[in-house]
Chain A
Amino acid sequence: MADRVTVAKTYKLFVGGAFPRSESGRTYQVTSPSGAFLANAALGSRKDGRDAVSAARKGFGGWAGATAYNRGQVIYRIAEMLDGRAAQFEALLVEADGLSARAARASVAASVDRLVHYAGWTDKLTAVLGSSNPVAGPFFSFTSPEPTGVVVAVAPQQDSLLGLVSVIAPVITSGNAVVVIASTERPLAAVTLAEVLATSDLPGGVVNILTGDPAEIMPHLAAHGDVNALDLTGVGPELRTELERAAAGTVKRVYAPAAFDPTKEPGLGRLRAFLEFKTVWHPTGAVSLAGGGGY
């Protein structure tokens, strides 16, 4: 007989900075690769998806309006919090995902590094991707990137931690809010990451994590009028076609890479995919100084 009975955990969703149960009241069992019971996770519904979109919309304004310096600090703070709990995540990846201790250590370290990488992008994006445009006329014209709004993402089914971080981080770096559906089979890294996010300085609603079945939740979010973009990284080919078709109803931006390897060093593609480019024009007054009208 064991010395003590283990604590069986029931995880919840992460929406608007809080941890609600699924409104549907449903859960599903999470098992290890060898089939052992690990925990109960919430089986999110489409209503949970809609609630998460509302929370993301509320979170978006403040986050997009925050200074890039501030956003960078917050994302770095997430990296710090994750690093502080590295041992827990490593154990979890060994137990729940079946990784070797060495692979788990590498995966957690890469996730921390990925967050640090993006933390340093917040205040450089505008300078790197924006421009002052040398237009042929007496105008000051400049183009700057802006976040597109609320992004709904499906994390890769593999690489439950690094994959999730690699999807979330570029989206929030530029000031978007995100609703992400975690790996269905391997959701424990995601629900534990939610605890990290909740205790970092990230404002509520900026990241919302759902667990459950993308095939059930995503069609509604792909057609949702208040969602600005989709990241279909973790979606299989069949569902992908259906979601892209649903997205066409509101001319949503869709990012659907053919393949994704989160261990590869990230480029700018994922950042650019969730950016708008705004061009502002103003007369320079050069005409006025030359004696004509200023406008």
Chain B
Amino acid sequence: MSDKRFPLDWEYAPAPESAAIGRIAERYRMFVGGKFVDGRGDDLKTVNPATEEPLATVSTADAADVDAAVGVARKAYDKVWSSMPGAERGKYLFRIARGIAERARELAVVETLDNGKPIKESRDVDVPTASSHFFYHAGWADKLRHAGLGPDPRPLGVVGQVIPWNFPLLMAAWKIAPALAAGNTVVIKPAETTPLSILVLAEIIADADLPPGVVNILPGAGEVGRTLVGHPGIDKVAFTGSTEVGRQIQSTLAGTGRRLTLELGGKAANIVFDDAPIDQAVEGIVNGIFFNQGHVCCAGSRLLVQESVAEEVIGKLQQRISTLRIGDPMDKNTDVGAINSAEQLGRIRELTDAGDDEGAQRWTSPCPVPDRGFFFPPTVFSGVSQSMRIAREEIFGPVLSVLTFRTPDEAIAKANNTPYGLSAGVWTEKGSRILGMASALRAGVVWANTFNRFDPTAAFGGYKESGFGREGGISGLAAYLQEED
């Protein structure tokens, strides 16, 4: 990509990772009671979203399989896991953490092939963070009495978990590790379009010799998830996904007394003040919205920029976005990979069309877009007002909406003017303003002069319609333990 300041044309040669490292099998099966078994549901074919070619056939669960899995999870809870000394439980989690690290390269390739995210992200973010979640929670297993939840906090029982397609392996780790550390057993359903990496994780779990039934994995579509969260044998439900499905789950569980945590959508404001270090802010904006193709519930999808620097920021932003490389996710130089499915691509197109219709100005990165696979080029809308759909609804794609503000109070009012409250960003050199903004923003995570940072020791989760409950840290652990009134 040439740049006026640097007349040299630095083209990168392709640097593809080998798909062979992923060792994708022809067929994958459910993991129930410590064994890989065929489900009674219809087989599904998972496709590589970057090529639209089928990757593997996956056996799925039906209602009877859900029932059976909940049964073995209950048995494992009663007979083995809940009464096992924490120190021993912890050792299994340490084994799994190491197992993930040992097979990191393979997992990264599987994740990229199945999800479409750039290999540099699955390699540098998803897989190492998944491992670190098991490592962190392993250490909790024998220290629960120090978590501030009473002298002998008890697990809840059998946990039903449903996870999304945007971080298939990472979400599995976020959900399974704390549940197990606290002494619960798990039945988990991965997303229909991304079942593969969690089934490799199942191999790691089996190799770790985890007692049968402690973790059970049921691939399938929404119906399997509905059956699982409504199953009377479940003591707690944990869900990550859309706010719409979260509402349905909360409604299903109404009156049952079963515990629930929800990690739902977001429409984060990324707020740039005029004294911000503009170049670094531009990097943060790009990371905030184009990381993982914008398939991130906490993505910084609303840029709020102070009016006096708006022109400069948008100019530099467009220049920077123009250097992003979109294309083969398996290429180590790729910045923006494939949209996960045709359906998701359709949704992004619908919302961006609404942006045009409502009068926002669309700017599209001039980068070349592959002619097959599901791709959407990085897009920025300016002249956005708060009432537009692109400012209100979660787009879940590489689409940024830019609004402006004059005063900090106006920035806060606009940032908080959303039913969501998952995350926010603040860019300014003034320390007191960072802390003042951080406390005024109604969001569960505030990144100041940085964006999209995650760590198992730090709580993550939302206010308002972004859900309730936290993942990571002590408050994440508390979601899997009984607490006295």
A interface with B by C-beta (< 8 Å): 128-129, 131, 133-137, 139, 141, 143, 146, 148, 228, 237, 240-245, 247-251, 253, 256-258, 260-261, 264, 266-270, 272, 276-283, 293-295
Contact = CB atoms under 8 A, between A and B. Distances in A.
A228 B358 CA distance: 31
A282 B450 contact: yes
A280 B453 contact: no
B254 A267 contact: no
Contacts of B473: 131, 133, 143, 277, 279
A277 B475 contact: yes
Interface of B: 132, 148-150, 243, 246-248, 250-251, 253-255, 257, 262, 264, 277, 280, 283-284, 419, 434-435, 438-439, 443-450, 453, 455, 457-461, 463-468, 470, 473-475, 478, 483-485
Contact of B484 (A137, A240, A269, A280): A269
B444 A278 contact: yes
Given A267-B484, A281-B446, A244 B460 contact: no
Contact of A141 (B248, B255, B453): B453
Contacts of B448: 280-282
Contact of B246 (A146, A251, A281): A251
B254 A248 contact: yes
B461 A277 contact: yes
B280 A293 contact: yes
A9 to B, nearest CB: 34
Contacts, number: 140
Contact of B485 (A141, A241, A248, A267): A267
A278 B446 contact: yes
Given A129-B148, A135-B458, A245 B254 contact: yes
Contact of A283 (B255, B419, B449): B449
Contact of A251 (B150, B243, B483): B243
Contact of B444 (A237, A269, A276): A276
Given A133-B457, A282-B434, 6 more contacts: A135-B458, A136-B455, A241-B254, A251-B465, A257-B485, A282-B449
B443 A244 contact: no
Contact of B455 (A141, A240, A261, A295): A141
Instruction: Say what secondary structure dominates the interface of chain B.
Output: mixed
B444 A135 contact: no
Contact of B483 (A128, A146, A261, A268): A268
Nearest to A270: B485
Nearest to A148: B463
Contact of A245 (B148, B251, B438): B251
A234 to B, nearest CB: 14
A146 B470 CA distance: 13
Contacts of A250: 419, 465
Contacts of B247: 248-249, 251
A256 B257 contact: yes
Contacts of A280: 435, 438, 445-448
Given A281-B445, A295-B277, A251 B453 contact: no
Contact of A139 (B284, B446, B453, B466): B453
A136 B132 contact: yes
Contacts of A241: 254-255
A243 B250 CA distance: 11
Contacts of A293: 280
A33 to B, nearest CB: 27
Nearest to B482: A269
A149 B277 CA distance: 34
A141 B453 CA distance: 10
A268 B458 CA distance: 20
A281 B257 contact: no
Contacts of A266: 485
Contacts of B243: 251
- Scoring B277, B458, B470, B478 by chain A CB atoms within 10 A of each residue's CB, the highest score goes to B458
A294 B458 CA distance: 21
A173 to B, nearest CB: 14
Nearest 5 Cβ contacts at the A-B interface: A241-B255, A244-B254, A267-B484, A248-B250, A295-B280
A134 B457 contact: yes
Nearest to A166: B485
B458 A279 contact: yes
Contact of A269 (B447, B464, B485): B485
A272 B478 contact: yes
B442 to A, nearest CB: 8
13 contacts: A133-B459, A137-B455, A148-B463, A228-B464, A237-B255, A242-B255, A251-B262, A251-B264, A251-B466, A267-B484, A276-B444, A278-B444, A280-B435
